[in-house]
Structure 1
Amino acid sequence: MASTITTDLKNLSISEPVVIIGSGLAGLASANQLVNKYKIPIVILEKESSLGGNSIKASSGINGAHTTTQSNLNVNDTPELFFNDTTKSAKGKGVETLMDKLAKDSHLAVEWLQSEFDLKLDLLAQLGGHSVPRTHRSSGKLPPGFEIVSALSKNLKNLAESNPELVKINLDSKVTDIKVEDKKVTGVEFINTQNDKVETLNTSNVIFCSGGFGFSKEMLQEYAPDLVNLPTTNGKQTTGDGQKILSKLGADLIDMDQIQVHPTGFVDPQDPESHWKFLAAEALRGLGGILLSPSTGKRFVNELDTRDVVTEAIQIQCSKANNKALLVLGEGIYEDLKNNLDFYMFKKLIKKITLKQVVEDYKLPITSDELAEHLNQYSTAAKDTFNRPLVVKNLGDEITSETNVFIGEVTPVVHFTMGGAKINTKSQVINKDGQILAQGLYAAGEVSGGVHGANRLGGSSLLECVVFGRTAADSIANVN
């Protein structure tokens, strides 16, 4: 039987610490807001042996409307336009007040990262379902998720060393229960997975930032059984622990069957049957990438439609190829996505070959001249057959069978769970009667539900983490 150790943190010289469950961007954002702005001590409980969660792998960027970067690049955007794009993508599900907050606070989130952590976020991409370019990333060598998570983690790690009473980071710590008395949070129980000891932290405030459940076949079977056999981009830690605990406490779990299948996960030619896939970032399509069907050798969809629409098109048009499509990018895209493409080529997920080799290697049912002619018809048109503007301009002015392209196989993958514990605009967890579940109980990021409805826009996952992670911190500071 596991032994129990009780750690009473109420006697710290500073006020009682906030316990943050999970160290993806939502957890890191709430932690940094609490310690940097309010000097409120925090304890992070992370069940893995390192910080970052799935956020560290995000590769397209973070959304923001009416930002300084957009102004510098002459992009006209407003929170109202972003809100409209979000609600359209949500298809009548979710909670519009949360979507409105996401859009209105988006520029504050981006500018917080820029000012507090010296992140450039100076480049933009227009992803599927967006009316304008609003997905921010930095010019530099690091992918956006890794860059943002690294900057926020570094600040907390430095504080944990210099001021351990302000910041404590407990890795290998799996939360098993939340103690609630008289509808008030009183503590957190967790297991130290290195020694199997059960520990309890006494606290009045808990922020769940534990992520989604996209790796859990058990939960997929319960909420979306038709997706159980699809590959996933989620790390093995993404098992819905937070949703399970919050449900037992009485939280209202909403939209749990709304699970986003991302249209483009790379098929690794060295391990094509692997259940886990590297994500082929939506920015690859946003900056000019196109999709070809191996069955026809031709395009079949507006690659910048929403993720659910592109996914369905692949599953219909590429069914004879086991739902595998070909992602094709021209040489003109290389400078914009050099770091991504260098990484993908290093992992052998993408290769650079001529169109003639494309036809030969993938046994397309058309000639290389026919493929070049097919692509040429889209390279000069203001809008193509699928209503996408100038889709292949990065392939060059005159496309021939000798034109070089970057190409890789992609397939739909379980990527993001839109559903979770319902929250309000203060990031407080809500019960099934629409009331606050318990004083001091908050949630942010993928563990929560209502922000995205039926379909999440690319670039809004990192944004959700920053907006509602910071909101939880602000709510705790204002209550106390």
Structure 2
Amino acid sequence: MSTRVIVIGGGLAGLSAALEAHAAGALVTLIEKETKLGGNSAKASSGMNGVQTASQHMLNISDTKLQFMEDTMASGGSLSDRHLVARLVEDSASAVEWIEQQGVPLRLVSQCGGHSCPRTHRIAPDEFGRAAPVGWGIMSALQRKIQGSDITVLLSSPVKRLITQNGRVTGVQLGDDQVLQTDAIVLTTGGFAGKPVHGDNSVLNEFAPKTATLATTNGPWATGDGIRLGQNIGASIRDMDKVQVHPTGFVDPKDPEATSKFLAPEALRAAGGILMNQNGLRFTNELDRRDLVTDAIFRSCEDYQTDRNKTAVANLILSQEAVNNYGPSTIQFYENKGLFRRYSHVDDLAKAMSLDPKFLDYQLKQYDHHAEKGYDQFSKTVFPSRMSDSSAYWLGKITPSRHYTMGGLRFDAYGRVLKETGPESYEPIEGR
């Protein structure tokens, strides 16, 4: 008889787990609390990190697993689990390859913040300059695979609790009290960086209340349900107060106080976008780690007061070269939504920023001067595009936004959720 597997959560991790379990011969049920699959994965826009991939080789990008390991460990400070990082790095190329095998070519490789070389893969623009958003492209392809299989998909089906027997997980109880028995459960329910949930059970308010006043790039579904499910059967948690704030959430001029922000992806800065404060001055290495760029925005940029709270706002500027690097059609998409505005001359850009045109032109020329030297006052060494004498400029407003929760259920390098059995001692919570 085939093994029964229940996957809880319909984002990229959930669909990947469901497809792989199905390929291994399991009877798979995929459960999603929302009315459709996708989650935050469908909103992703910068790409997927991988080392020694086919695309890197094709583009003659020299990268090593050690470099990727060191970059990741440095980004996590003293908190990163070396065993988990090693597994992430070791499996990264095969993960990118697996996505490509599902029909999603990830041929464009960028150097994003915190990385010492280009290794962030996304979908390249087509011959007409049109680029599919990488998250949407991946999720659409995987959903087609799911629809073409005999995987059972339950939508609008929140899980109330995990059922255990003699310390083993044997099933789930849904919100309508329906009980499903299973041999194994894969929890892929995501984090808790969505809008704060009011009440005693709010994961965000309990563990990271200081970030609750920020806007979020997440959908409202990101409430930490799976973490609560695990806690309720004795699973250990870790790093729950570590919530990543993305430095660049778009401020929509039509609704600047919106608590949900459209992400201005890191790939915009990887293409050459620069950040300036209200005085027309750069204040950071745009390709530094997200936490460092975020801190620099809070230090160097003026606050925008809303009815709810105040938040720092910076200017994100792209030249024509940066737009060409990123993909003109996608920039047009942002422009159509009112998140970017195009200016045909530096004088027009300066007017929009309430700056002297000669001063702004000088600052852009200084940036290009540093680019020629390969180094600037913020230790930036990668300059993807020139900024001065551009045939056009694009200007958007951005603000730091709650983006990603680093903590959650404790698990090992095999993906097994762990429970604490003693001081610094853990063991897996088994299935049937």
Question: Which TM-score applies when normalising by structure 2?
Answer: 0.91
Task: Look up the SS of the partner of 2:6 in the other structure.
Answer: strand
Separation (CA, whole Å) in 2 of partners of 1:384 and 1:287:
18
CA shift for structure 1 position 211: 0.6
Match of 2:323 in 1: 334
SS in 2 for 1:136: strand
DSSP 3-state at the match of 2:86:
helix
1:420 pairs with 379, 394, 408, which one? Answer: 408
Structure 1 equivalent of residue 123 of structure 2:
138
Instruction: Find the partner of 2:152 among 153, 161, 168.
Output: 168
Aligned to 2:281: 298
Query: Is 1:119 the equivalent of 2:104?
Result: yes
CA distance in 1, matches of 2:134, 2:195: 26
Tell me how far apart the structure 1 counterparts of residues 20 and 8 of structure 2 sit (CA, whole Å): 15
Alignment of 1:175-190 (within 5 A): 175-190=159-174
Paired with 1:234 and 1:393, the residues of 2 have a C-alpha distance of: 30
Question: 2:13–2:188: 8 Å Cα contact kept in structure 1?
Answer: yes
Counterpart CA distance in 2 for 1:375 and 1:403 is 13
Match of 1:409 among 397, 416, 430: 397
Cross-structure match for 1:459: none
| Cα shift readout 1:347-399 (whole Å, capped 9, x = no counterpart) | 110011132222222323xx11111111112213322221223536343xxx2
Q: 1:356 aligns with which of 320, 323, 347?
A: 347
Do residues 201 (structure 1) and 183 (structure 2) align? no
Number of the residue aligned with 1:315: 298
> Cα distance, 1:245 vs. partner?
1.3
> Gaps (5+ residues) in structure 2?
126-130, 197-201, 305-310
- Would you say the 8 A contact 2:322–2:385 is kept in 1? no
| 8 A contact 1:290–1:391 mirrored in 2 | no
Q: Does 1:56 align with 2:42?
A: yes
What is the RMSD of the two structures over their aligned residues, measured on CA atoms? 1.5
Q: Is 1:39–2:29 an aligned residue pair? A: no
* Residue identity opposite 1:201 in structure 2: L
Letter in 2 for 1:272: P
Identity of aligned residues (%): 38
Distance 1:149 1:105 in 2: 20
2:307 is aligned to: none
**C-alpha deviation, 1:320, in angstroms:** 4.2
- For 2:14, the equivalent position in structure 1 comes to 27
Aligned partner letter, 1:145: G
Q: How far apart in 2 are the matches of 1:95 and 1:274? A: 36
Give the alignment of 1:50-449 within 5 angstroms. 50-114=36-100, 116-140=101-125, 141-159=131-149, 163=150, 167-191=151-175, 197-217=176-196, 218-294=202-278, 296-321=279-304, 322-338=311-327, 339-353=329-343, 354-364=345-355, 367-379=356-368, 380-389=372-381, 391=383, 393-395=385-387, 399-400=388-389, 403-433=391-421, 434-440=425-431
TM-score scaled to structure 1, two decimals? 0.82
The alignment partner of 2:426 has SS state of: coil
C-alpha separation in 1, matches of 2:401 and 2:298: 11
Query: Which deviations, in whole Å up to 9, do the C-alpha atoms of 1:265-306 show, x marking residues without a partner?
Result: 000000000000000000000111100001x21100001110
Q: Provide the aligned length of Structure 1 versus Structure 2.
A: 408
Any conservation in 2 of the 1:266–1:409 contact (CA below 8 Å)?
yes
- SS of residue paired to 2:177: strand
Kindly indicate whether the alpha-carbon contact (under 8 Å) linking 1:184 and 1:204 is maintained by their aligned counterparts in 2: no
* One-letter amino acid matched to 2:282: R
The aligned counterpart of 1:15 is 2
Equivalent-residue separation in structure 2 for 1:25 and 1:169 (angstroms): 15
Give the secondary-structure state (helix, strand or coil) at the position aligned to 1:113: helix
SS in 1 for 2:412: coil
Structure 1's unaligned 5+ residue stretches are 1-13, 192-196, 442-480
Secondary structure at 2:170's aligned position in 1?
Answer: strand
Matched-pair contact (CA < 8 Å) for 1:260–1:417: yes
Instruction: Please tell me the residue identity of whatever aligns with 1:50.
Output: K
Could you tell me whether the CA contact under 8 Å between 2:159 and 2:174 is conserved in 1?
yes
Measured after TM superposition, the shift of residue 437 of structure 1 is: 4.1
SS at match of 2:232: helix
Deviation at 1:173, TM superposition (A): 0.4
Task: Give 1:77 deviation, angstroms.
Answer: 0.9
